[in-house]
Amino acid sequence: MTLAIETAPLRSLFLLNRSVPDPAVYARIAEIEQPWIDGLLAELEAETDPVPSRAAWLDLLDAQLQAEAADLGSLAYLAHEASYEEFRTFVLEFGPDGLTEAQNFFPAIARVPIKAQLALMRVLIDEFGCGNLQQSHSYLYIKLLAELGLPTELDQVLEHTSEPTFAFMNAFYWLAQRAPHVEYFLGALAYLEASIPPAFSLLAEGCLRLGIQNGAYYSEHVHIDAFHMKEMQTAIREHEVVHGLDATKVWIGAKLLSRVLGEAVENAVERARSTADAGR
Ligand SMILES: [Fe+2]
Ligand SMILES: [Fe+2]
């Protein structure tokens, strides 16, 4: 355990986040999580000007999404050029995320007013296929992994996943339950839902090009996250109605997620390309 923590602290944190949090587990979570999150927040706070209103947050998000949509280089590579083996490596890297999708959002429900709870629940119900296994996002990922001949159990896939991807997943465990202000979570999830359609349309294209039949995990998100991004803005508006809104914290939450997800995707594509190169 000690060696695993030294070599892959964010993988250890992911496992701790999914354990029963007895005092020893919680202490270890804090030990790994606090310096990592504190560092990230300090950097983001230093580079972020105050955001005066919800309208200003919406403009900033829009500008960020447009800038990112104009520069989807790594994902465009997966859409248009990656080999079957490279694409397969990318899918395996995100296995722990696909297999546990949206599970780490639940603690946030208890932290927002009732109309925001309902908006979040509408998102979560879709993530879990409206109770229908065939539509559940994690099941769609299982089918994708299975078609590619990859393991479909969490303890097996996480052996192949690297630290930047664990950072992305761990961020939501903190955001949903330990972030001191729930605005960080709301901004992060609003960003995630809005950034997925353009990104996943490229991954769906990659599946089509490579003859991968089970690309529905990606195409379903292109469709459903267009609704989820609106639900998240509803949740933010409802939070403002009841508690007021610190729009700067909403924006910092979005920037935090953009940072960790961007690093995870870049690393995953780079890794997929070098793994395939090594096999040539
Ligand atoms: Fe999803
Ligand atoms: Fe979603």
215 burial (CB, 10 Å; 0-12 / 13-18 / 19+) is buried
Ligand nearest to the backbone CA of 101:
1
The structure tokens listed for 126 are 């879709």
Measure 127 CA to ligand 2 centroid, in angstroms.
6
Measure 228 CA to ligand 2 centroid, in angstroms.
5
Range of the domain at 215: 53-278
Q: Per residue in 63-72, is it b (16+ CB within 10 Å) or e — as a string?
A: ebbeebeeeb
Task: Answer whether residue 66 is part of any domain.
Answer: yes
Measure 227 CA to ligand 2 centroid, in angstroms.
8
Measure 125 CA to ligand 2 centroid, in angstroms.
10
CA distance linking residue 17 with residue 28, whole number of Å: 10
Residue 4's pLDDT is 47
Q: Write the single-letter amino acid at 76.
A: A
Measure 190 CA to ligand 2 centroid, in angstroms.
9
CA distance linking residue 214 with residue 88, whole number of Å: 12
CA distance linking residue 48 with residue 60, whole number of Å: 11
CA distance linking residue 114 with residue 142, whole number of Å: 33
Measure 186 CA to ligand 2 centroid, in angstroms.
13
Minimal CA–CA distance to 172: which of 61, 72, 239, 97? 97
Measure 244 CA to ligand 1 centroid, in angstroms.
29
Q: What is the CATH number of the domain that holds 86?
A: 1.20.910.10
Q: What are phi and psi of 152, to 5 degrees?
A: -120, 5
Task: Answer whether residue 258 is part of any domain.
Answer: yes
Task: Answer whether residue 33 is part of any domain.
Answer: no
Q: What does the pLDDT profile of the chain (280 residues) look like in tens digits?
A: 444 445 899 999 999 999 999 999 999 999 999 999 999 999 999 999 999 999 999 999 999 999 999 888 899 999 999 999 999 999 999 999 999 999 999 999 999 999 999 999 999 999 999 999 999 999 999 999 999 999 999 999 999 999 999 999 999 999 999 999 999 999 999 999 999 999 999 999 999 999 999 999 999 999 999 999 999 999 999 999 999 999 999 999 999 999 999 999 999 999 999 986 654 4
CA distance linking residue 145 with residue 158, whole number of Å: 13
Measure 28 CA to ligand 2 centroid, in angstroms.
30
CB 190 within 8 A of CB 249: no
**Number of compact structural domains in the chain:** 1
The structure tokens listed for 3 are 């060696």
Residue 175 CA: distances (Å) to CA of 2, 131, 249 = 26, 25, 11
Measure 45 CA to ligand 1 centroid, in angstroms.
29
107 burial (CB, 10 Å; 0-12 / 13-18 / 19+) is middle
Residue 44's pLDDT is 98
Residue 7's pLDDT is 84
Residue 276's pLDDT is 66
Residue 156: CB atoms within 10 A of its CB come to 14
Measure 229 CA to ligand 2 centroid, in angstroms.
8
CA distance linking residue 27 with residue 265, whole number of Å: 30
Q: What are phi and psi of 23, to 5 degrees?
A: -55, -35
Task: Answer whether residue 266 is part of any domain.
Answer: yes
Measure 6 CA to ligand 1 centroid, in angstroms.
31
- HSE-CB at 138 with a 13 A cutoff on CA atoms is 17
Task: Answer whether residue 138 is part of any domain.
Answer: yes
**3-class secondary-structure state, position 232:** helix
CA distance linking residue 152 with residue 148, whole number of Å: 10
Return the ∠ at Cα 96 (arms to 150 and 73), rounded to 5°: 85
